[in-house]
Amino acid sequence: MARDYGEALEREHAEEVLDRKAKATVQWNYNCSIRMFKKMVKKESLIKQVTCEKCGKTFKTNKDKKLCFRCERKK
């Protein structure tokens, strides 16, 4: 009977050690990694500086067009 009790304790201890090892390898700090990602990755600006093909005026826009607002209206 004492031997059974000892084996049960050893089994419990072994399972506990496995759980500790598994938890140690799974830990991952999500917030820290997101902050690092935001600092490391440069975002591309949506606003582009474009030169009008008709009048040569330089303007900023977030659309893919080649004419300024005035030349587009006259079109």
- Can you give the pLDDT at residue 31? 61
Residues of the domain holding 27:
1-43
Together in a domain, 28 and 60: no
List pLDDT tens digits, range 20-64.
766 555 455 566 667 777 777 777 788 999 999 999 999 999 988
Together in a domain, 63 and 74: yes
Q: What is the rounded distance in angstroms from the CA atom of residue 26 to the CA atom of residue 17?
A: 14
Q: What is the mean pLDDT of residues 65-75?
A: 86
Together in a domain, 37 and 48: no
- Can you give the pLDDT at residue 55? 92
Together in a domain, 48 and 38: no
Q: What total of structural domains would you count in the chain?
A: 2
Handedness of CA 54, 63, 59, 72 (dihedral sign): positive
